[in-house]
Structure 1
C-alpha cells in the first residue's frame, strides 16, 4: 500500500492541518492501493509563507546559477536512481501502461530535466548590450518569484518537471499541487527533492482538489501560476490571475489533426499513429485524434487504422504486453464511453470498437479502443477533446481543404503531416496554426518550445523559452566610459 502521513511544506515533512485523506484506487482492480493526506487552504497558507520567506530573504534567488544547476543535478541523479520504482508507481496509481510509464513518463521526464540543465548552463542570465545612444545596458533575467504549480494526473511527473525544473533553475520558489488522482506520485517527488539539499522553503508539495488549487491561484503571496489541464479550468485560472495581473503559463487541451497526404503509405501512417494517437491510452493532450485522409486513399487509411487498433492488447497496465490500459477513473471511463455513443448517434460509421468493456475484462475502468469513419468536422466527436482511445477519420478532397479542416478547431496544440516527400510535408505544416508539429512522426523536442495556439494555452515550455517563462527581465542603463 502507498501510504503517506505527512505533507512536504517548506522543505520539511509536516503534519497536515486536518486529518482529511485522499484514497488512491487502482484503475485496473478498482481496489484501494494507498492513501495520502489531503491538503487544505491552511496548508497552502503555510507553504506560501515559507516560499515567500525563502524568496524574499533566503539565499536561493541570489544563488549563482551554477549552484542552482548543481542542486537540480542532484535531484536529477536521485530521480534516475528510482526510475523503475517510479514507473511502477505511476502505472499503479493512474493506470498508464507500464511501457508508457517507462518511456513517456519517467524516461521523458529524465530527458527533459537533462535538457533544461544543459540550457541553463549557457542561458544569458545577465548580458551586456550596446544601447541606442551608445552607452552599455545590462539586461538581467531575474527569478519571477513564488510560483504555484498545478498539474494534472495523466503524465504527473513529466508535466510537473516541465515547470518545477525551470522555475528552480531560474531561482524561484515553488508550491506544487499535484492532482488528487495521483497524490503519491507528487509526494514521491518530494522525497527525491529532499535529497537534493535545497534551502528551507524552496519547495512544497500539497496534493489536493480544486478548492486548494483555487486558493493557491488567488493567494496574494504567489507571483506566478503554471498550470497544465483542461481548457475550461485554464480559462478560470486565466480570469483569476488577470484580476491581480499575476503571471500565468497555461498548457491546455487539444484536438490535434494528423494530415495524411495522398502519397503517404497507409500502413506506415497507422504504425506511426499507434504512438501519436494512442499513447497513454489516448489520455494525452497532444494525441492526434483527428485523422484527415484524402478521399482517393480514404478506404485504405481507414482499414489500416482499424487493423492497427484491433491488434492492440488491452488490459492490466502492469503487464508490459498490454498497449492500452484503463482510464484513470470511473468518471473518465463514463465520459469516453458517452462520446463513443454520441459518435454513433451523430451518424459516424463505427469501424472498430464501440460502447462497452473490451472483451475478456469485467473489472477496471476500461473502454474499447475505437475508430470512427465518415466523420464530419462539425460533429462533436471531431471538435471536443475526448481524452481516450478514440480516433475520428475525416475525409478531404484537396490539400487546401485539409488545411482548412485542421485549422477549423478552437485548439492548436499539436499535429502531424504524413507524406513520402519531407519538403512537401513541411510546406503543409507551415500552414497549420498549431504549436508543435511532426513530419511522419510526433514527438516533443526538449530543446524547442512546446505550447499551443488559440485555446490550447498561453506561453511555452522547454528550450530556452521554457526557462524564460520563470524570469522577469530587468534593464540597467550604464554611463558611457
Structure 2
C-alpha cells in the first residue's frame, strides 16, 4: 500500500508546498514505508496564517452567528462520521494504535466532540447583563480570541486535534493546525470532511512540519493563541515563548498517574479496567495510570494478577481486530521504552514481559511489562515512559497511598479502586490531579480535562474550553 500526498490544505485549496522536503510515513506494525507527505516550511506557515486571518476578519465566517456556526459544525460532524472507518484505519496504520481502540476513540469519539460543541455554540450569543455598583449595568461581551495555532501529537492525532478545533469553531476562531510528522494521513481526511461540510475558506488550515517550523508557528505575529498537546519538555518551551509574547496558551502535557488499589479492591474488576485506565493505546496515553499502588497486605496477589494479565494480552498488527497491544509508534520511541525497561531491571523486579514478542521480526513491538518491588523514588516510577510498562508500588495505609500518588511532578490523571464506591470517592478527592477516576477512568466530553503541575495549563472538554478561545469585554453603562 502506497499513500502519498503532495499538498497542504490552506484556504480550502490543496496548495503545493514551497519546498521539496517530505516526511516518509511508516507502518508501525511492519516498519515499512507506506508513502510520503510534504514537509512545511516557514513560507507555508505564512500562507496558512494569512488565510486564517482573512477568514477571521472578512467573509462568511466573520459574519456568522453562533446558530450559523452550529449548522456548519453539524455538517462537519456528519462528514467526520462518514469517514470514521477510514480515519481509524489511517491512525492505526501510522502509529500502531490497536484498531479496536482507534475505531472508538479516533473514528467515533472525535465526531462526538464536535457534536457537543456544536450544541454549545448555538447559545453563545445570549446576552450577559450584570448589575453595576457604579452605574446602571455592565454588558459582558465575548468575541473570538483570533487565529489559533493548534499543535497536535501523534498518539491520538484526530481526537486531540478535534479537542481544539471544536471549541475554537464554536467560539468563532480560525486555525492553523500542525499535525505530528508521524501521523499526517488522518489530517487529510479531516480536511476533506471540512471541505465537504462547507466550512468557509481559511477557517481550518493544515500544514505538517517539524519542530523548528512548529516553533515558528508558535511565535508567528499573526497568531493570537496557541493550543498544544505533547511532552512537558516541549510544553515548557512553548510556554516560555507565549509568556514573552503575552500570548494565551493551553498546554496538555505529560503524566505519571497512579492507580490506588484500596484494601477491599476487586482485582478482577481492576483488571477489566486496566486496558483503558493503565495501558491505553499500547501505553502511549498521557493520562495512563502507570504507577499501581497496592496495599502491602494484598501486594503479592496484585503483582501475580497483573503479571498474568499482561502475559495474556495479544500483541500484534495494529490493524488486526484481535490485537490488544500494538507496536510503539516509531523505532526511536521503542528504543526509548526499551531503555527504561533496561533501567527497570536494575531498579526493581521484572515479573512479566521485558522484551520483544517472539516471532515478531519487524515492526516496533514491546511486550507488556510489569515491574514489582518498585520504590516511588525509582526512575521508572518518576519519569514518563510512554509505553506498556507498569510499576507496582506497595503502601502501608491509605494516607501513605495518597502521599505516594501525590509525590510526583505530574498531576494529570489517576484512579481509585474499591468495592465501596463512596470510600473510593473520598480518597479520590485527596489526589492532587486535574482528573481522577473512581473504579475506572475515561475522560468525559462534558467535563473539563487537563492537568496541574508539570501536566499542563488550562482545560479541554466541557463548556470551560470555549472560554479559552474567547476574549471578553465589559461595557460599563453608566446612564
Q: TM-score, normalised by structure 1?
A: 0.97
Unaligned runs of 5+ in 1: none
Q: How far does the alpha carbon of each residue in 1:316-335 deviate from its partner, in whole angstroms, 9 at most, with x for none? A: 11100010000000001100
Q: How far does the alpha carbon of each residue in 1:108-132 deviate from its partner, in whole angstroms, 9 at most, with x for none? A: 2122222222233344654122222
SS at match of 2:62: helix
Name the counterpart of 2:53.
Answer: 52
Q: How many angstroms apart in 2 are the aligned matches of 1:105 and 1:297?
A: 37
Name the counterpart of 1:105.
Answer: 106
Q: How far does the alpha carbon of each residue in 1:60-116 deviate from its partner, in whole angstroms, 9 at most, with x for none? A: 234200111111111110000111111111111111110011112222212222222
Name the counterpart of 1:349.
Answer: 349
Q: How far does the alpha carbon of each residue in 1:416-470 deviate from its partner, in whole angstroms, 9 at most, with x for none? A: 0001111111111111110111100001011000000101000000110011110
Q: How many angstroms apart in 2 are the aligned matches of 1:470 and 1:263?
A: 44
Are 2:151 and 1:150 equivalent residues in the alignment?
yes
Q: How many angstroms apart in 1 are the aligned matches of 2:11 and 2:313?
A: 45
SS at match of 1:445: coil
> For 1:8-407, what aligned pairs fall within 5 Å after superposition?
8-123=9-124, 126-133=127-134, 135-346=136-347, 348-354=348-354, 356-407=355-406
SS at match of 1:207: coil
Size of the aligned set, in residue pairs, is 478
Q: How many angstroms apart in 1 are the aligned matches of 2:126 and 2:320?
A: 46
Q: Is the 8 A contact 1:274 1:308 kept in 2?
A: no
Q: For structure 1, which segment, 15-24 or 109-118, has the greater mean C-alpha deviation from structure 2 after superposition? A: 109-118
Q: Is the 8 A contact 2:73 2:115 kept in 1?
A: no
Q: Is the 8 A contact 1:22 1:183 kept in 2?
A: no
Q: How many angstroms apart in 2 are the aligned matches of 1:353 and 1:104?
A: 27
Q: How many angstroms apart in 2 are the aligned matches of 1:478 and 1:61?
A: 27
Q: How far does the alpha carbon of each residue in 1:241-292 deviate from its partner, in whole angstroms, 9 at most, with x for none? A: 1111011000000001000000111222122112211111000001110000
Q: Is the 8 A contact 2:3 2:36 kept in 1?
A: yes
Unaligned runs of 5+ in 2: none
Cα root mean square deviation, aligned? 1.2
SS at match of 2:139: strand
SS at match of 1:106: coil
Q: How many angstroms apart in 2 are the aligned matches of 1:351 and 1:274?
A: 18
Q: How many angstroms apart in 2 are the aligned matches of 1:422 and 1:181?
A: 41
SS at match of 2:106: helix
Q: Is the 8 A contact 1:266 1:301 kept in 2?
A: yes
Q: How many angstroms apart in 1 are the aligned matches of 2:405 and 2:206?
A: 39
Q: How far does the alpha carbon of each residue in 1:198-257 deviate from its partner, in whole angstroms, 9 at most, with x for none? A: 222211100111011101001011000000000000000000111110110000000010
